[in-house]
Amino acid sequence: MCKKIALCLMVLFNALTVLGQKEVLKFNRDGKFKIVQFTDLHVKWQDPRSDIAFERMNQVLDDEKPDLVIFTGDIIYSKPALENMRNVLKTVSDRKIPFSIVFGNHDNEQGATKEELLKVAESLPYSLTADEVPEISGVGNYALTVRSSDGKKDACVLYCIDSNTYSTIKGVKGYDYIKRDQIDWYCKKSAEFTRNNGGEPVPSLAFFHIALPEFNQAASDENAQLYGIRREKACAPALNSGLFTAIKENGDVMGVFVGHDHDDDYAVCWYDVLLAYGRFTGGPTEYIHIPNGARVIELNEGARTFKTWIRTKAGVEQLTTYPDSFVKE
């Protein structure tokens, strides 16, 4: 009987530990917190062309040992959608690394809705993916907090936002934009975190799939310091819904990280906010003219500064420090 009780208690403890992973994000004792961004894997089910995507993910995870992985959309590119999504995310989940996802414009084109795909992501151990506000536009808008190393306060906020898919406005072609109700949600959350932090904005980052129009403005400005590869214009929405302006008004977000444009991996500062692409992580199931890899972000506790770099098979590229590296002499 005692052995059975002990076994039951052990099972319960393990279950609570797994459930508790959702609150575990916090800075390490050295004041660092590392994020790996995988983007645009475009995985096709049991297609050998996707093998290199899994190889690169595993290599980057081995090399970087991140505290968190964020997938910024276009994760899958074929049916069976639910099995495909689960298989990709298990690459991280099986390593017991916390992870989260935002959707791209292709994920829900493979025979499953975003809601169905979200349930797959939520069901896996170590997933932090959520749909915090299902009543607003998009699927999977949520904020993750990184606690201070002593666990006493929120030291960083990570906004994960659905950038939607294609324009639904007559006469407006191309990609959709982040909607007003999503921006209102972000502003409300930002104000809440600021209020709880004694009136001081909490250092934050934002992650979504499709670049903002400001990416093109910044990349074409001769006074802006740009690091990395820019082989194509940002395929941003034709209409600007004002998220960047809201970011500047709130004063919390230090950097915005996106995917979508496979031949870009640059980072450029625009009005003191870093606008950065991840490195395309997928294989030749879609267009790519640069070696695949991932972006890495290393946050510093208690400071509005971070390091970021690209990790490929060859090693580290484009190591920069925000904001210092982006101050043009």
The values of phi and psi at residue 22, to 5°, are -65, -20
pTM of the model: 0.93
pLDDT of 13 reads 40
219-277 confidence digits (pLDDT tens)? 999 999 999 999 999 999 999 999 999 999 999 999 999 999 999 999 999 999 999 99
pLDDT of 22 reads 62
Look at residues 122, 124, 112, 33 and name the one whose alpha carbon lies nearest to residue 76: 112
pLDDT of 183 reads 98
Residue 96, burial from CB neighbour count under 10 angstroms (0-12, 13-18, 19+)? exposed
Measured CA to CA, the distance from residue 260 to residue 208 in angstroms comes to 9
pLDDT of 24 reads 80
Question: Which residue ranges in the chain fall short of pLDDT 50?
Answer: 1-21
294-317 burial by CB neighbour count: b if 16+ within 10 A, else e? Answer: bbbbbbbbeeeebbbbbbbeeeeb
Domain extents in the chain: 24-326
pLDDT of 7 reads 43
pLDDT of 20 reads 36
- Which CATH fold topology does 24-326 show? Purple Acid Phosphatase; chain A, domain 2 (3.60.21)
